[in-house]
Structure 1
Amino acid sequence: MTDRTAAATRETAETEIEVTLDLDGDGESTVDTGIGFFDHMLEAFAKHGLFDLTVRCDGDLDIDDHHTVEDIGIVLGECLADALGDKRGIVRYADRAVPLDEAVADVVVDVSGRPRFYFDGAFSQPYIGEFTSDMARHFAESLALNAGLTLHLSIEGENAHHEVEALFKALARSLDDATRVDDRRSDTPSTKGEL
């Protein structure tokens, strides 16, 4: 199997970001975004997706968390697309439902090359520490649009921490499933011959 890794950087007036991704890792991560809860979510994403992930970000957190979270989603999406290459042999589709106590998150993904994003639900509290709860939705959207995913997410629950954590874990598990190489397939999983 070819090496399915990628690295990318992004530097703007709002953020400086470095990301590395290994799709066939062990779930190891080193994350420093300046937002404790977001670090925890990215670590959970790596752990449950079995991705090796490093993320370093110096963002304009004196303003808020928006640019940091959004731009990390952009760069991680670019890394995901780069690591997948021509997508030869991948499973392509996956869905996962993940509970965390009273909360449950559902994720359906198609690694289609046609970026679309759909979200259903609302977070129960507006903030989790210094993390704006709705930024979980925006992170997933930025990831999907930059990785070329069709991504459907839904959440329900009573505690925003549980809702967001279930969402990150379901996203990780579904992406692990969808990007997994199927030994029975030697081509790109599309009747068009490409994704």
Structure 2
Amino acid sequence: MAQRSEPLDSLDFFPTPPWATRAFVRHVAPELGILRTDIVWEPACGEGHMAKPLRETFRTVLASDIHPYGYGRVADFLAMQSVDAQNVADLIATNPPFNQAVAFARQALRFAYRGVALLVRTQWLHTIERYELFREFPPFVIAYYVERVPMHRGRWEPEGSTATDYCWVCWKHGAEPRAPLWIPPGQRQALTKPDDAMRFGAPVAAPLFETGA
């Protein structure tokens, strides 16, 4: 039930429900010391399902993706050799392609000034490859959703359901690892906004830099 099958050439596009990103902002970002004035970069932004909710809180949100989904800048995050003026961020936060999440973690740890947050299936925590990553770069905190976060390939379904569990694996430069935390239940109901279905139902073009209110 926790598996999802993907063709070999799939871009692994599973949009993040907006309430799940807001729950991260409310319960996890403060543990990382991330402020409203900090710059956040979403390098696998898809149609903006995570970047737009991040923009509700953070002053500047950078958005990019290898595929032209119609939101943000088209850029191959893993092919970048260094950070330029267009990609300077305090925090890199993303829902990466499952099969490339380790590469995303290593690249993000190179580029982010203060921290990295990856939204992954809890199953991703296993295997020798992840062990090697965590041994070299111990996460600062792992934050588990108590309630399920429904994700569907290629679309966001406001009334969707799932049997898959998700968590945030977070690094904070210069900080010692701490005990895991749990994102409390009730976030889906509390943090879903009345206009979410309309806002996130179709891609909307956006510039590379977005400045929040």
Q: TM-score, normalised by structure 2?
A: 0.30
| Structure (1 or 2) with the greater strand fraction | 1
Higher helix share: 1
